[in-house]
Amino acid sequence: MADVFKKVEPAEYYRRHLTHDARPDGRQLLAFRDVVVSVGTIGTADGSALVRLGGGGTTVVCGVKAELASPRPDTPARGYVVPNVELPALCAATLRPGPPTALAQTLSQAMADLIENSGCVDAGALCVSPGRLVWALHVDAVCLAHNGNLADACAAAVVAALRDTTLPAITIDDETGRVRVDSGRERAPVAASAFPVAASFAKFDNDILFADPTAEEEALATATVTVATLEDGSLCLLHKAGGSAMTEKELQQCVDRAQVRGAELRHLVNKVAASKEC
Partner 1 sequence: MLTSMLTSITIYLNAMPLDRMRIPGPEDSKPPFVYETPSGVDVSNLVKTNGCRKDGRKADHIRPMFIKCGIISQAQGSVYIEFNNTKVICGVYGPREFGKREDFSMNGRLTCDFKFATFSCKQRRQHQQDAEEKELSQLLLQSLSPAVCLHKFPKAQVDIYVIILENDGSALSAAVTCGSLALADAGIEMYDMVVACSARKYFNSILLDPTAAEEIVPMKTNESVDEGEMTVAYMPSLNQVSGLILKGEMHTQVCAQIMKSCLEGCNLIYPVLQQSLITSIRKSLSNVDLQGSKEL
Q: Smallest distance, Å, CB 81 to partner 1? A: 9
| Residue 135 DSSP SS3 | strand
Instruction: Looking at residues 217 to 276 of the shown chain, list those that interact with partner 1 (rule: CB under 8 A).
Output: none
Cα distance between residue 60 and residue 117, in whole Å? 22
Cα distances (Å, whole numbers) of residue 268 to 37, 61, 119, 196: 8, 17, 21, 13
Q: Smallest distance, Å, CB 190 to partner 1? A: 13
103 belongs to the binding site for partner 1 (CB under 8 A): no
Per DSSP, helices labelled H in 128-168 are 150-164
The DSSP call for residue 191 is B
Residue span 115-144 as binding mask against partner 1, x where in contact by CB under 8 A, dash where not: ---------------------x-x-x-x-x
What is the enclosing helix (H) or strand (E) of 145? strand 133-145
66 belongs to the binding site for partner 1 (CB under 8 A): yes
Cα distance between residue 171 and residue 182, in whole Å? 6
Cα distance between residue 145 and residue 168, in whole Å? 32
- Residues touching partner 1: how many (CB under 8 A)? 56
149 belongs to the binding site for partner 1 (CB under 8 A): no
| Residue 193 DSSP SS3 | coil
Candidates 25-33, 69-77, 150-158, 224-232: pick the segment binding partner 1 (CB under 8 A): 69-77
Pairing of strands 197-204, 208-211: antiparallel
Q: Smallest distance, Å, CB 44 to partner 1? A: 5
69 belongs to the binding site for partner 1 (CB under 8 A): yes
86 belongs to the binding site for partner 1 (CB under 8 A): yes
DSSP string, 205-261: TTTEEEES--HHHHHH-SEEEEEEE-TTS-EEEEEEEESS---HHHHHHHHHHHHHH
* Smaller CB separation from partner 1, 170 or 208: 170
Name which position in 27, 65, 239, 266 contacts partner 1 (CB under 8 A).
65
68 belongs to the binding site for partner 1 (CB under 8 A): yes
Summarize as ranges the residues that interact with partner 1 (CB under 8 A): 41-45, 48, 56-59, 61, 63-70, 72, 80, 82-84, 86, 88-93, 96-97, 99-100, 104-105, 108-109, 112, 136, 138, 140, 142, 144-147, 167-168, 170, 179-181, 183, 215
